[in-house]
Chains A and B, each alone.
Chain A
Amino acid sequence: MKLRYALTGLAALALGVGFSLAAQHPPDAVQGEFVRIINVHVPASWLAFLAFAGTLVGSLGWFATRRSGFDSFAAASAEIGVFFTALSLLTGMIWGQVTWGIAWDWGDARMASTALMLFIYLGYLGLRRGLADPQERAKRSAVVGALGFLIVPVVYFSVNVFRSLHQTQSARPDGWQIESSAIVVSMLTNLAAYSLVYLAFVVWRTAQEAELGRARVDDLAGAAISPPTIGVDRD
């Protein structure tokens, strides 16, 4: 319990520092104030990858051990991954409209593949909602959790394989592709802050799922016992 609150406090603090840095760095000569979107867009995209990797780990962990904790972890990761994928798409579209003059470009492999990734994990969450039995849900969603991750490398490397509107990765072996060091520091701080948000959310949701699981077992145990009937004539 202490870890949950400590992580949440730390994440809130880191977010506050990240936002203040994002508000302070100078505007870009070309993009103006809209350059600040990078402080949300890049961490959100990174977090989506991290979260779906978490779903893969949780799914494979469930296959290996059949422990419900792995399933809860996979589900929590997918939930946060879907949220941050949607946020990444939305902020990307706003930034694209301002910088490229177009919010959505069908020729851009990164945009299209990110949208597909969102739909795959929406399907994952939809599948979980359709299954009441925890064992069934864990088994079937672990398959989709493992299968769905196939798209993650496609999304990540799409900017390298298909050169279109979206720029390649900001951090490359030959150095940063962003000129202003203030923007790099601010973006990295937000990246760390968002990662802490992910950790805090996953810890909370995993614990919540475990409590729900225990409650279901208690329900079942209670349902198996029926109270004796008093005062009924058995003849």
Chain B
Amino acid sequence: MTAWTVAAEIARKDLRVELRSGEVLWITIPFGVVALFLVPLALPLDNPLLARVGSPMYWVVLLLFGMTIALRGSAVPTEPQRDALRLLGVDPAARFAGRVAATSMLLWAFQIVLAPATFVLYQTPLPPSWGLLIPVGLGVGLGLAVVGTIAADVTRGLRSRTALAPLLVAPLSAPLLVAAAQASESLANGDSILLPALIIAFTVLGLAVVGVLTAGPLEESAQ
């Protein structure tokens, strides 16, 4: 089995566990939509204002609730599962890639639900070249999955995990949020999104390199 096949198998296993538990599908995604619904209630009844904040709110909700998805309980294998995979000689980097792939897919699914909800609730107009937002969303989902997977491993088994993991994820994923919000604004104004796209690409690349390189040593810590 190649490392890619192993990664695909791990991703499939994680998605199957998620399908059984429904943690993301039935809890986090509806909760994220509720958050989008709550914001207009706290703002003055001003439709142009809502249309302006719609896109930034989309990215903020994606970041905050995406953290919940990336750090979900079923994303962190239990010790017996780890032991079994270690005994099978599964490459830690392939396991990391597989977990990132599964989390990315869940985050992309979250975005598929979140985007129409934003357009409906905030009446945000679609930019002319809205198709360019798709790679931006894919990149943000991937970056968030990488940083979330690293944070989940680093805080595994800690009593303060629920508070500490978001403290690590939020600032590290802030460049993704800033770049994504900038890209949306640039597209709405008809400007180039080259700089935000590069920021997203380099952030994802940097995080992925650190994630792959540290997957092995982090695995040792479970022994």
Contact = CB atoms under 8 A, between A and B. Distances in A.
Contacts of B64: none
Interface string A85-127: 0000000000000000000000000001000110110110011
A80 to B, nearest CB: 19
A119 B170 CA distance: 9
B214 interface: yes
B155 A127 contact: yes
A23 interface: no
Contact of A130 (B160, B206, B221): B160
Contact of B168 (A63, A123, A146, A150): A123
Interface centre among B150, B155, B159 (most CB of A within 10 A): B155
Nearest to B174: A116
B173 to A, nearest CB: 10
Contacts, number: 71
A131 B210 contact: no
Interface stretch (A36-44, A134-142, A184-192, A210-218): A134-142
Interface string B166-178: 0110111011001
B134 interface: no
B220 A139 contact: yes
B171 A123 contact: yes
Interface residues of A, number: 26
B171 A127 contact: no
Given A131-B158, A140-B154, A147 B172 contact: yes
A159 interface: no
Q: Name the prevailing secondary structure of the A interface residues.
A: helix
A154 interface: yes
Contact of B171 (A116, A135, A146): A116
Interface centre among A117, A142, A150 (most CB of B within 10 A): A150
Interface string B127-166: 0000000000000000000000010011100111000100
B221 A136 contact: yes
B57 interface: no
A140 B203 CA distance: 21
A147 B210 contact: yes
B171 A139 contact: no
A147 B150 contact: yes
A35 interface: no
B3 interface: no
Nearest to A122: B167
Interface size class of chain B, counting residues whose CB lies under 8 Å from the partner chain: 20 to 34
Contacts of B168: 120, 123, 127, 144
B214 A130 contact: no
Given A143-B210, A146-B210, A126 B160 contact: yes
Interface in A11-65: 63
Nearest to B218: A143
B207 interface: yes
A155 B177 CA distance: 16
A130 B159 contact: yes
B217 A139 contact: yes
B154 A127 contact: yes
Interface of A: 63, 112, 116-117, 119-120, 122-123, 126-127, 130-131, 135-136, 139-140, 142-144, 146-148, 150-151, 154, 161
Interface of B: 150, 153-155, 158-160, 164, 167-168, 170-172, 174-175, 178, 195, 203, 206-207, 210, 214, 217-218, 220-221
16 contacts: A116-B174, A120-B172, A123-B168, A130-B158, A130-B164, A135-B221, A136-B221, A140-B218, A142-B217, A143-B150, A143-B214, A143-B218, A147-B150, A147-B210, A151-B172, A151-B175
